[in-house]
Amino acid sequence: MTIWLDDPKKLVPLRDQAHQVAMNMLRPISRKYDAAEHEYPKELDLLAAMIDGLSESGASNGAGAAGVRRDEKEKPEAGVKNGTNLASVLGIAEMCWGDVGLLLSLPRQGLGNSAIASVASPEQQERFAGVWAAMAITEPGTGSDSANIATTAVRDGDEYVLNGEKIFVTSGERADAVVVWATLDKTQGRAAIKSFVVPKGTPGMTVERLEHKLGIKASDTATIRFEDCRVPAENLLGSADIDAGTSGQGFGGAMATFDNTRPLVAAMAVGCARAALDLTRDLLEQAGVSIDYDRPAQVQSAAAAKYVQMEADWEGSRLLMLQAAWMADNGKPNSLEASMAKAKAGRVGSDITLSCVELCGSVGYAESELLEKWSRDSKILDIFEGTQQIQQLIVARRVLGLTSAELR
């Protein structure tokens, strides 16, 4: 089988268009919204309208920056398919070359939208079309253990009553709705965990505070409390049966969302790291340091050798990202590859951006360039959607064929 490492020709226009948006729309306002934390970037409304128009016209093939839509019922095409997942990671990498926080702030491109796409029924897909959905999973007492959700959902007639607290909800204040993970019965473990679409303004749902963060300051990160919050039963995504966890409509289906979103986070790290590498190379050349790919790294300057090593690590991250997305497009189980991509890109992205700050010295540390900002932004990409340690644990389980109970 021939392996092609070039971007698919049909996706090149989308990739290039995303790069132009990143360069002409995101980069110019990057520092502005880094300084104005919690202020909504109004410039993104125009960009969101453009993306909506492309999607509605059918001319986009994944124009949504984080709008992964994988229909598991779709029959795979003959041969290979370069579809929405691959288009999304290519587009996201380019957009994050511009700014990660602004990409995360794009309307209707939230993680909750991926959850709806993965688990919702056709009727729910139609009803929630056009809704900007955040996703609320993490709780003060759960950390990275998504199966230990404490927020409860109790059936009362045609409604569910939600009680609990969620933290670190990206776009929690700005989004039109929040996809909330809650348990129907704590004694039943992960099989009883379901996700509910809770519209903004629902009585009993309160945004307690917005977090002040190290990076991605353009993106709001909220703490949300649910106190006797009543949600229509029809807003439960997938099946209400507790034993549905093995059918793809319960906890298993909700967790499968991560197989789509983790390559997207890898793409964010790949894009941010590429931005740092591009600027660092320019600054090194201005300082008289040339990088010669025709000579071994050990016979070049220390700065040039370090740069070549960083580019090699970056390329490995990019290829893992592409592999995970391609597998999703072609209906192949990609849980292992999604975690590998996220783990590699998250760590390498953080290492590269910080190393670029070091290589450029005082210029890298000062706000005269964006290098210091990229080093701050990239750190979260090694943490959210499952930390580095959690990804390594998932990879180990898949490689060794062990369950979560057997390898903790």
Catalytic residues: 385
How far apart, in whole angstroms, are the C-alpha atoms of residue 103 and residue 218?
9
H/E element holding 221?
strand 221-232
Q: Give per-residue burial for 254-289: e unless 16+ CB within 10 Å, then b.
A: bbbbbbbbbbbbbbbbbbbbbbbbebbbebbeeeeb
Nearby residues of 75 by Cβ (< 8 Å), 6 or more positions away: none
Nearby residues of 32 by Cβ (< 8 Å), 6 or more positions away: none
DSSP assignment letter at 69? -
Write down the number of H helices and E strands in the chain: 13, 8
Among the listed residues 171, 153, 155, 173, the one whose alpha carbon sits nearest the alpha carbon of residue 163? 153
Contact 229, 353 (CB under 8 A): no
Extract the tokens encoding 167: 């933290």
How far apart, in whole angstroms, are the C-alpha atoms of residue 103 and residue 109?
9
Extract the tokens encoding 116: 């709806």
Tell me how far the alpha carbon of residue 342 is from its chain's centroid: 9
Contact 246, 48 (CB under 8 A): no
How far apart, in whole angstroms, are the C-alpha atoms of residue 369 and residue 30?
11
Angle of the 12-21 helix axis to the 84-98 helix axis, nearest 10: 20
How many residues would you count in the chain? 408
How far apart, in whole angstroms, are the C-alpha atoms of residue 358 and residue 380?
19
Contact 345, 262 (CB under 8 A): no
